[in-house]
């Protein structure tokens, strides 16, 4: 699982947007988002375009323009952000996990790939931008973090 710079930037931009909207309803220019999280502005623009096409943000053109969350931060799931900028959560050689097929000793492998995807969904489709902003993650996610070596390398 390589979380791309694109996805990382997208989440950070949305967090910054969510934070700004708590005190100010005006749209936030890409330039400001880029500054606050130290992101390359032109690249960020392309990412915001993806997020707009996916319906996660809305944009306002012209002077005093910028970006807004398309809905409350609590209703924007990280899974949606991943899919918007990087496509499906899990793929195996370009196939969706449930589309893979094998013969012989590898017969049951699709089950494993589907389980991998399901475990990603359990995190990404149940954590919202609001959750991350406030640091209050769902209980079952906190339970994952409680594993003794969750913060250690392997």
Partner DNA sequence: GTGAATCCTATGGGTTAAGTAGGGAATAGT
Partner DNA sequence: ACTATTCCCTACTTAACCCATAGGATTCAC
Residue 108 found at the interface with its own copies (CB under 8 A): yes
Tell which one of 21, 52, 114, 137 touches DNA (CB under 7 A).
Answer: 52
Residue 50 found at the interface with its own copies (CB under 8 A): no
Residue 96 found at the interface with its own copies (CB under 8 A): yes
Tell which one of 45, 50, 125, 130 touches its own copies (CB under 8 A).
Answer: 125
Residue 19 found at the interface with DNA (CB under 7 A): no
Q: Residue 58 contacts by C-beta under 8 Å, 6 or more apart in sequence?
A: 52, 67, 68, 69, 70
Measured CA angle at 35 (ends 29, 39), to 5 deg: 100
Q: Closest approach of Cβ 21 to its own copies, in Å?
A: 11
> Comparing C-alpha atoms, which of 52, 59, 113 is closest to residue 84?
52
d(CA 37, CA 14): 11
Kindly state the tokens that stand for 84: 């918007």
Q: Closest approach of Cβ 139 to DNA, in Å?
A: 32
Following CA atoms 29, 35, 40, 46 in sequence, which dihedral angle do they give, to the nearest 10 degrees? -20
Q: Closest approach of Cβ 32 to its own copies, in Å?
A: 12
Q: Which residues bind DNA (CB under 7 A)?
A: 4-6, 9, 28-31, 40-43, 45-46, 48-49, 52, 59-67, 86, 93
């Amino acid at each position: 699982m390589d979380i791309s710079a694109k996805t990382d930037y997208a989440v950070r931009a949305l967090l910054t947007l969510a934070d700004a909207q708590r005190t100010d309803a005006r749209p936030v220019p890409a330039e400001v988002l880029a500054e606050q999280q130290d992101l390359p502005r032109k690249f960020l623009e392309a990412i915001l375009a993806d997020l707009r096409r996916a319906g996660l943000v809305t944009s306002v053109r012209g002077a005093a323009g910028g970006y807004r969350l398309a809905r409350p931060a609590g209703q924007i799931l990280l899974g949606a952000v991943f899919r918007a900028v990087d496509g499906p959560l899990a793929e195996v050689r370009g196939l969706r996990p449930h589309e893979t097929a094998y013969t012989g000793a590898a017969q049951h492998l699709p089950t494993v790939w589907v389980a991998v995807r399901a475990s990603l969904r359990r995190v990404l489709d149940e954590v919202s931008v609001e959750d991350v902003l406030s640091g209050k993650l769902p209980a079952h996610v906190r339970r994952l973090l409680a594993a003794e070596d969750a913060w250690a390398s392997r």
